[in-house]
Every structure is written in C-alpha cells, then in structure tokens.
C-alpha cells in the first residue's frame, strides 16, 4: 500500500495560513538540548515525522522526552552513552547532529551512517574534519555502517570549512561548546537556523560569538544547564506558501514569518511581477493578475537564494511567459522534480546542474512521485494549478518536513484528500 495526496486542481486559494516552527532548526535544537545537565523545553515544534524519529533516538539514550502539542520537553539528567544504531537513525540525515552533541557530552559516540533525501552526494567530511581538529579519533565500521568517535579530551582549535556547510557548522558547534579552550570556525555557514541553535546553546550557558558571520568563536565551558526556547518560523515553509499563493491564490495572508529570512525569494517573486505586501510578521500575496515574467535563479548559501526553494519555485516558473532557468550550486543533482512536472505538461530541460523552464505551459493532473521533500512541495503546487486530479505518491517525504500542509491548504480552499492505493 502507498499513501497518496490527491489534489483536484483549479480552485483559487484565499485566507490566512500560519507558518510552523523551522524544521531545519528543530532537528538540530533537539540533539543540542542533550548537552544540558537539566530539563530543556522547546516551543513551536512543528508536527513532522522527523521530530518523531528524533524522539525515538532520545528514548534509546534513556533521555526523558514528552511532546505536548507544539512543545517538547527533554530531561537528559538520566541519559546514558548508548550506541545509536537503530533504524530510526536512517529516517533523517539530521540524526548526525547526535555525533557532535554526544561527542561534546560524553567525548564518545557510536552512530549509524545518516539517511535522508537523495539530493546527490551528501558527504560529512567537513563534520569529521571538525571533530578530528577537536581531538576525536574516528573509525568507520564498513560492515555495521557505523562511526565511532572517541576523544580523551576535546581541545578547542581553529577549523576552516572548505564549504560553508550548515550541518558541519552546527555539528562542530555542538562538539565545541564544552571543549577545553577556544574553537574558531572559519567560513562558517550563516543560515538563520544556526543562529537559532546558538541562541539555545547560549541560554544553556555556552560562550559563542560571531554566529551569523563567517567566523564563529566558541569558548568551552564545563557545564550547560536546562532552559526554555521558542523555535524561529520555518522560512522554507513560508517561502513555499508564498509561491503557492502566487500560483493559485487570490489573496493569501502568510502569518508568522521573518521577512528578512526570505529576501532572496521575495526579490525574485517581485521580479516575476507577483504582488505582495509585507506587514510586520505577515506577508499578503495577491494571486496572478497579469502574466508572470520569467527569471533566472542561482542557488547560493544564505542569504542567497535557498536551494530548498528552487524546486517549488520551478513549478511557478512553468507559468511565466518565457524562458526561465535555475542553476544549482549547492546540490547539483536536485532536479528530480523536473521529470515529474513534465509528466504534468511542463516543458523543462535539465542539463548538468541547471534547468531551463519554458512557459507558460498548461499543467494537467497525473500520478506523480515525490522523490524528496521539496519535490513533493513542487508537485503539490502543480496539482493546485493543474487541470483535473493529481495523485502524489510517497507522501512520507512531504510529511518529514511540512507540518500538516494538506490541512493548511484545505483551510485556504484547496480540494485535497489523502488515501492509500495498492502500488
């Protein structure tokens, strides 16, 4: 049996949608919390399957976890240093944050190689480079597919990241906050989710400066205590809804947004001729009144155009009057959504790390595959504007990272159902 999201296209969307907490902050905040000696409460947790997978891992570590609505409370005071080798590790790539967190807490961690969406090669060499620089000895067991990291002690060190990797920046932060002395991360990533994790660690008693710039300085401390934290809104979910509204909306208010986190997307949407008003922490989007203009997008590290938004935007670009393009500089193989969109009537050519999107094309319903999380979002948008019924398979990808996206769209007037089919 396969779970399917089915969409009847052509219905205009109106109303207000409230954005949930940031997935890519949440999946780092939860592992970071285990570094505390006492309870940590985190508010604004999105209802996504990645959180469920992390809760399973925490319980395997004998960490007390309770989830009530959008709040998670962890009490690491009775936690044990247990190898993380269950299948839950493979459910999300971000389980690798337990490498940094448990190395930082116990100076030792055994963990299975992480899973996650296939977006082309996704090495963790920069994470390991950072752990080694701090004094960890790393061995990989080919048979068990597990990493063992051990250090007599962790000593602060300067670490240059060959690529401004989000994951490596966060993971090294987690290992360094209790290391002896000073760690300097050079060419660090600047994503807002890294700032959010640093805010939590600072409230726990960590000494971190320069986050949000390309040089982060961490002075290790002996102890980190419990605290309370509220997660920032999810800029990728917010961006996805801006694009949905631009494609299928009449007047949609996207609430609980930090507009500064979306400057690159907002600029591109304006370049396309999308009408928007930014009002405090809401953005009002008026659906298409005149033909959209084609644009050229190049994905960059933050604050450049987010790679996670090029897939949903591709669907909108199929409606622009002319030739648009997307160039990927982060994940060069992140184009599996194009073949699925072409099945729905789009005209997209993919060549090496770029796509050319010819529009406007009339999209029609089809049975398509969500190949990854953001491909799923792109197909939802195509289903909303396509003629007839679209069935999106492999919805587990979508549920990993979007909090009840179909319910939110139904509230805006979309005709969406979920069911299972034999396939």
Binding site for ligand EPZ (CB under 6 A): 23-24, 27, 94, 117, 119, 121-127, 163, 165-168, 189, 236, 307-308, 330-331, 373-374, 401
d(CA 268, CA 407): 27
Residue number with CB closer to ligand EPZ (193 or 391)? 193
Q: Rounded to the nearest whole angstrom, what is the least distance from the CB of residue 361 to ligand EPZ in the complex?
A: 25
Give the nearer residue to ligand EPZ in terms of CB position, either 110 or 374. 374
Q: Which of 92, 98, 96 is nearest to 115 (CA)?
A: 92
Q: Rounded to the nearest whole angstrom, what is the least distance from the CB of residue 191 to ligand EPZ in the complex? A: 6
Q: Which residue has the tokens 């990993």?
A: 400
Q: Which two tokens stand for residue 409?
A: 């769209």
Q: Which is nearer to ligand EPZ, 253 or 380 (CB)?
A: 380
Q: Are 221 and 173 in contact (CB under 8 A)?
A: no
On whether the CB atoms of residues 317 and 244 are closer than 8 A, the answer is: no
Nearer to ligand EPZ among residue 125 and residue 144 (C-beta): 125
Given the complex with ligand EPZ, which of 128 and 292 has the nearer CB atom? 128
Distance of CA 362 to the CA centre of its chain: 30
Q: Whose CA is closest to 318, among 227, 233, 385, 263?
A: 385
The 3-class SS string of 287-330 reads CCCCCECCCEEEECCCCCECHHHHHHHHHHHCCECEEEEEECCC
Pairing type for strands 146-150 and 137-141 reads: antiparallel
Closest residue to ligand EPZ: CB criterion = 167
Distance CA 359, CA 194 (A): 37
Pick between residue 93 and residue 287 the one whose CB is nearest to ligand EPZ.
Answer: 93
Sign, CA torsion 385/328/320/238: positive
Q: How far is the CB of 155 from ligand EPZ (least distance, A)?
A: 21
Smallest gap, in angstroms, from Cβ of residue 116 to ligand EPZ?
A: 7
Q: Is 63 noted as a catalytic residue in this protein?
A: no
Q: Which residue has the tokens 């690798």?
A: 96
Per annotation, catalytic residue among 63, 117, 338, 375 = 117
Minimum distance from CB of 165 to ligand EPZ (Å)?
A: 3
CA 412 from centroid of its chain's CA atoms:
24
The minimum distance between CB 10 and ligand EPZ, in angstroms, equals 28
Q: Which residues are catalytic?
A: 117
């Amino acid at each position: 049996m396969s779970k399917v999201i089915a969409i009847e296209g052509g219905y205009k969307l109106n109303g207000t949608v409230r954005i949930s907490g940031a997935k890519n902050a949440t999946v780092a905040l939860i592992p970071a919390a285990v570094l505390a000696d006492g309870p940590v409460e985190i508010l604004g947790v999105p209802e996504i399957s990645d959180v469920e997978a992390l809760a399973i891992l925490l319980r395997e570590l004998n960490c007390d976890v309770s989830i009530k609505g959008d709040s998670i409370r962890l009490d690491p005071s009775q936690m044990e240093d247990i190898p993380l080798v269950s299948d839950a590790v493979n459910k999300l790539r971000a389980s690798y944050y337990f490498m940094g967190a448990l190395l930082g807490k116990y100076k030792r961690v055994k963990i299975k190689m992480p899973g996650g969406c296939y977006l082309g090669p996704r090495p963790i060499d920069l994470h390991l480079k950072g752990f080694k620089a701090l004094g960890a000895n790393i061995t990989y067991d080919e048979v068990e597919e597990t990493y063992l990291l051990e250090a007599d002690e962790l000593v602060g060190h300067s670490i240059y990241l060959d690529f401004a990797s989000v994951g490596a920046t966060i993971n090294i932060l987690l290992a360094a906050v209790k290391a002896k002395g000073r760690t300097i991360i050079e060419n660090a990533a600047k994503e807002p989710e890294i700032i959010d994790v640093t805010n939590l660690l600072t409230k726990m008693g960590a000494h971190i400066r320069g986050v949000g710039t390309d040089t982060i300085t961490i002075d290790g401390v002996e102890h980190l205590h419990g605290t309370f934290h509220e997660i920032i809104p999810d800029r990728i979910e917010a961006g996805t809804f801006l694009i949905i509204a631009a494609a299928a909306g009449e007047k949609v208010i996207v609430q609980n947004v930090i507009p500064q986190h979306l400057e690159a997307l907002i600029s591109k949407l304006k370049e396309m001729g999308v009408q928007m008003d930014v009002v405090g922490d809401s953005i009002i989007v008026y659906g298409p009144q005149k033909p959209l203009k084609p644009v050229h997008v190049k994905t960059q590290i933050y604050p450049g155009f987010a790679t996670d938004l090029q897939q949903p935007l591709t669907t909108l670009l199929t409606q622009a009057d002319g030739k648009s393009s997307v160039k990927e500089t982060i994940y060069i193989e992140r184009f599996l959504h194009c073949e699925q969109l072409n099945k729905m009537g789009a005209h997209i050519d993919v060549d090496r790390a770029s796509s050319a999107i010819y529009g406007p094309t009339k999209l029609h319903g089809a049975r398509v595959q969500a190949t990854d999380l953001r491909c799923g979002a792109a197909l939802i948008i195509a289903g909303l504007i396509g003629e007839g019924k679209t069935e999106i398979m492999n919805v587990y990808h979508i549920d990993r990272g979007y909090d009840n996206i179909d319910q939110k769209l139904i509230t805006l007037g979309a005709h969406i159902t979920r069911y299972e089919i034999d396939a």
